[in-house]
Structure 1
Amino acid sequence: MHAKPSATPKGGGILRQPTSVWATAFAAVVAFMGIGLVDPILPAIAKNLDASPSQVSLLFTSYFLITAVAMLVTGWVSSRIGGKRTLLIGLALVVAFAALAGTSGTVGQLVGFRAGWGLGNALFVATALAVIVGAASGGAESAIILYEAALGIGISLGPLAGALLGDMNWRFPFFGTAALMAVGFLLIGTLLKPTPKPAEKTRLSAPIRALAHGGLSTTAFTALFYNYAFFTILAFTPFVLGMSAHGIGLVFFGWGVMVALASVFGAPMLQRRIGTVRVMYLALALLIVFQFGLAFLGHGGIIACTVLSGIPIGLNNTAFTEAAMEVSDSPRPVASAGYNFVRWMGGALAPFIATKLAEEVDAKLPYVVGAACCAVAIGILAVRRRHLAPLERVDLDHAFQDAPAAA
């Protein structure tokens, strides 16, 4: 089975994109802002709704659990009503449930509304990647980098927006997200042309069937353990920092900037020099180092390790997304759905387990478990590396394309 070509044609610039791609990318930025938006206000939510950290962590668990399961139906939906309608339905659900989250009177209501938000986010995010890849100029590689740039910018701005709005009232970040997503809805509704329906309708079982491919399943289950470590940092660290909403927001803004820079600039450069699989090894090893730093260093070390952990997370986000898109022989939307179903389970499990371990055992243990998950991910890559051979062929092609022409 051969990997799909992803070379960037000469003359295709990542910034030279149709207006419809920029509209979709803007909405993607706002969608990813929703991931880190609640970070700075987690302590405030716990205080105002009289909830424990593990109860508040369910905001992440419900969001990512529903996002993961909904990934299985995104292709089925978009292949029947088209990509544009699927994006608009997803955006409408996010607007509605984000606004409802701001009206919550109990942590249970907030968790429930975040679950609905996760459904809308799944419909939007999975389809947005396929739409950007389909409409972007410069090939799939440029499109994925643009998508990861949206992810990085959204993840970095989310905590900052959460801190600025949450400092006034913990409800305001939810209303702010609803307003921004409404703008995204209008932009996509007016600027994105109706996307053609695929010749074949996607079966509900297609994403699960796609995971039978050795390369895609290897990528997905490695990403599951990596995402556990990722979301241990994102969801648990706000309680460890012991700072105000502004302080937490600034720390995670710095973290998000590292994610964005590593995703857009670091990962492509390293992939061309050492290959995608070696980038994964490197990033996972770095993440182990930072997890142990978070566990055993003092307050200043925790802040530094939180910010710097954005570097391996950014490298891995791009490397894993490209791997999932390139290694499978399934259509990209189907491969993306199967991959995201598995990997987002890590985001669903980590927040609750991490906070429970801290409450009942020790605050260092969540990060030790996160480091162990990275080690498991490295083990999966090592044992099943032969399934990722197509990625190495693509990396070799890129190396030849980047080499100076012979005299």
Structure 2
Amino acid sequence: MSKAAGVQQAHPKLTDALRGQSKTVWVTAFAAVIAFMGIGLVDPILNILTEQLGADPSQSTLLFGSYLGVQVVAMLLTGVMSYRFGAKHTLITGLVLIVVAAGLCALAGNIETLIWLRAVWGLGNAFFIATALSVIVGAAAGGQQGAILLYEAALGVGLAVGPLLGAVLGNISWRGPFAGTAILMAVGAILCTGMLAKDTDKSHRTPVRLIDPLLALRNRNLLLTSIGSAFYTAAFFAIIAWAPFVLGEGAIFIGFVFFGWGVCVAISGVFLAPKVAHRLGERGGAIASVLVYAVILLAMATGIKAVVVAGIIASGIVSGVLNTLFTGSAMSSGTAPRPVNSAGYNFMRWLGGAASAILVGHIAVWFGNMAAPFWAAAACSVVAAGMLLLRRHQAPAEDPHTVPEDAAIIGAD
């Protein structure tokens, strides 16, 4: 089989991935859309929160930092949770935690309370996204790569709708986006409770130790891919967490800019990424794309408002490709079972995002330049390309490990 044929097989078309899916897949995908909305939900209201709650930008960006920081640590716990309690129970626990945290965010009175509640939100998100892909993989027609494509579609739609919802409701009150998300996620939790199949008994699940995801990173290719993804995700969150402050506009303006960004992530992730993989391969396509990402960030570092807006939209196109290619590359790396490989990969990836969200505000202060975080993000993109260049070539192969529906797969997005 030719290389091109192999890539085409590994990356099916979205229309093929959507065909003949069960209600379990659709319900889980719907809940995933809402969960991913939480990432960009606060983007349009960052300036409003800074003004009305008397916070500085470095405190406001902690709404991302606390959320992602807890999610990173919890990623290592969810494998054990899923083995002990089952995928469905773990998933629903995550949804309930998000409902509670988002609802309480709508009632919060200061930025410190919001930061702590976003940490709880991150815990719930980890429990959910850590098992959502495993449920989709176990129930989806079309195999793992088709399931990844569905997952990427849910990610893109969530990233697009989140800022739009935040803008519309945030223009009424900064409490609105949190309340709206709590209601939508409650609907998702009810649907998952009633429509997902019961968990099998523990004897049918793949046991995962707490240390296994970290041990999986001893594999050179998986480690380099994971480090590269961490640096790319740091650049990704520099745009999400800092661009609203550089723009300095209201909720509606920022919301629609990031809505356009999210639409680009969704479209390119499911339509453009397979074409890039077909032409350049996953590794080559990711290297080329992340270098383009660096160029976009350098342009945004000029601080010119029109250029920053154009850069945000353009970065969405590249991010959609990178999200899909990094996931595919990681899932084909390593020698441990895919659930364990994916856990280690996601731990590293979200660690990069958490560090970025915490540091962007401080970088701007240290350099005395609002655009400085974009320079740092461009450097991170170059490092990510370097990590991928150090990877050894690895031909796609079938996973020798059978992954049952209740396996503790740590979802990659």
- TM-score, normalised to structure 2, is 0.90
Task: Please say which of residues 153-162 and 318-327 is displaced more in the overlay.
Answer: 318-327
Q: Which residue is 2:408 aligned to?
A: none
Q: Which residue is 1:71 aligned to?
A: 75
Q: Which residue is 2:255 aligned to?
A: 249
Q: After the TM superposition, list the runs of 4 or more consecutive aligned residues in structure 1 that deviate by more than 3 angstroms.
A: 5-9, 197-200
Determine if contact 2:17/2:149 at 8 Å carries over to the other structure: no
Query: In structure 2, what is the Cα distance between the partners aligned to 1:291 and 1:7?
Result: 28
Which secondary structure does the structure 2 equivalent of 1:389 belong to? coil
- Kindly provide the amino acid, as one letter, of the partner of residue 327 in structure 2: T
Q: Which residue is 2:384 aligned to?
A: 377
Q: Once the 2 structures are TM-superposed, how far is the Cα of residue 254 of structure 1 from its aligned partner?
A: 0.5
- Kindly provide the amino acid, as one letter, of the partner of residue 177 in structure 1: T
Which secondary structure does the structure 1 equivalent of 2:394 belong to? helix
Task: Please say which of residues 208-217 and 141-150 is displaced more in the overlay.
Answer: 208-217
Determine if contact 1:7/1:140 at 8 Å carries over to the other structure: no
Once the two structures are superposed, the pairs formed by residues 4-403 of structure 1 within 5 Å of their partners are 6=10, 13-196=17-200, 197=202, 198-296=204-302, 298-361=304-367, 362-383=369-390, 385-386=391-392, 388-391=393-396
Which secondary structure does the structure 1 equivalent of 2:147 belong to? helix
Which secondary structure does the structure 1 equivalent of 2:246 belong to? helix
Q: Once the 2 structures are TM-superposed, how far is the Cα of residue 268 of structure 1 from its aligned partner?
A: 1.2
Query: In structure 1, what is the Cα distance between the partners aligned to 2:133 and 2:205?
Result: 19
Determine if contact 1:324/1:335 at 8 Å carries over to the other structure: yes
Q: Which residue is 2:406 aligned to?
A: none
Computed over aligned residues only, the root mean square deviation of the Cα atoms, in angstroms, reads: 1.8
Query: In structure 1, what is the Cα distance between the partners aligned to 2:349 and 2:11?
Result: 26
Determine if contact 1:224/1:343 at 8 Å carries over to the other structure: yes
Which secondary structure does the structure 1 equivalent of 2:207 belong to? coil
Structure 1 unaligned spans of 5+: 395-407
Which secondary structure does the structure 2 equivalent of 1:103 belong to? coil
- Kindly provide the amino acid, as one letter, of the partner of residue 98 in structure 1: A
Instruction: Write out per-residue CA displacement over residues 264-303 of structure 1, whole angstroms, 9 at most, x where no aligned residue.
Output: 1011121122200011111101101110111115211111
Q: Once the 2 structures are TM-superposed, how far is the Cα of residue 12 of structure 1 from its aligned partner?
A: 5.4
Instruction: Write out per-residue CA displacement over residues 82-102 of structure 1, whole angstroms, 9 at most, x where no aligned residue.
Output: 111110000010101111111
Determine if contact 1:126/1:336 at 8 Å carries over to the other structure: no
Query: In structure 1, what is the Cα distance between the partners aligned to 2:121 and 2:107?
Result: 14
- Kindly provide the amino acid, as one letter, of the partner of residue 340 in structure 1: N
Query: In structure 1, what is the Cα distance between the partners aligned to 2:180 and 2:342?
Result: 29
Which secondary structure does the structure 2 equivalent of 1:296 belong to? coil
Query: In structure 1, what is the Cα distance between the partners aligned to 2:374 and 2:332?
Result: 31
Query: Given the superposition, is the C-alpha separation of residues 226 and 7 from structure 1 closer, same or farther in structure 2, using an over 3 Å criterion?
Result: closer
Query: Given the superposition, is the C-alpha separation of residues 12 and 238 from structure 1 closer, same or farther in structure 2, using an over 3 Å criterion?
Result: closer
- TM-score, normalised to structure 1, is 0.92
Q: Once the 2 structures are TM-superposed, how far is the Cα of residue 364 of structure 1 from its aligned partner?
A: 2.2
Query: In structure 2, what is the Cα distance between the partners aligned to 1:328 and 1:88?
Result: 30
Determine if contact 1:12/1:137 at 8 Å carries over to the other structure: no
Query: In structure 2, what is the Cα distance between the partners aligned to 1:205 and 1:172?
Result: 40
Query: In structure 2, what is the Cα distance between the partners aligned to 1:103 and 1:332?
Result: 40
Determine if contact 1:130/1:332 at 8 Å carries over to the other structure: no
Determine if contact 1:127/1:333 at 8 Å carries over to the other structure: no
Determine if contact 1:63/1:118 at 8 Å carries over to the other structure: yes
Determine if contact 2:61/2:357 at 8 Å carries over to the other structure: yes
Query: In structure 2, what is the Cα distance between the partners aligned to 1:158 and 1:300?
Result: 22
Determine if contact 1:152/1:257 at 8 Å carries over to the other structure: yes
How many percent identity over aligned positions?
47
Structure 2 unaligned spans of 5+: 1-5, 399-413
Q: Once the 2 structures are TM-superposed, how far is the Cα of residue 6 of structure 1 from its aligned partner?
A: 4.8
Which secondary structure does the structure 2 equivalent of 1:110 belong to? helix
Determine if contact 1:166/1:173 at 8 Å carries over to the other structure: yes
Instruction: Write out per-residue CA displacement over residues 98-150 of structure 1, whole angstroms, 9 at most, x where no aligned residue.
Output: 11111111111110000000000000001101111111001111100000000
Query: Given the superposition, is the C-alpha separation of residues 245 and 71 from structure 1 closer, same or farther in structure 2, using an over 3 Å criterion?
Result: same
Determine if contact 2:69/2:354 at 8 Å carries over to the other structure: yes
Tell me the matched-pair count: 387
Query: Given the superposition, is the C-alpha separation of residues 326 and 363 from structure 1 closer, same or farther in structure 2, using an over 3 Å criterion?
Result: same
Q: Once the 2 structures are TM-superposed, how far is the Cα of residue 13 of structure 1 from its aligned partner?
A: 4.1
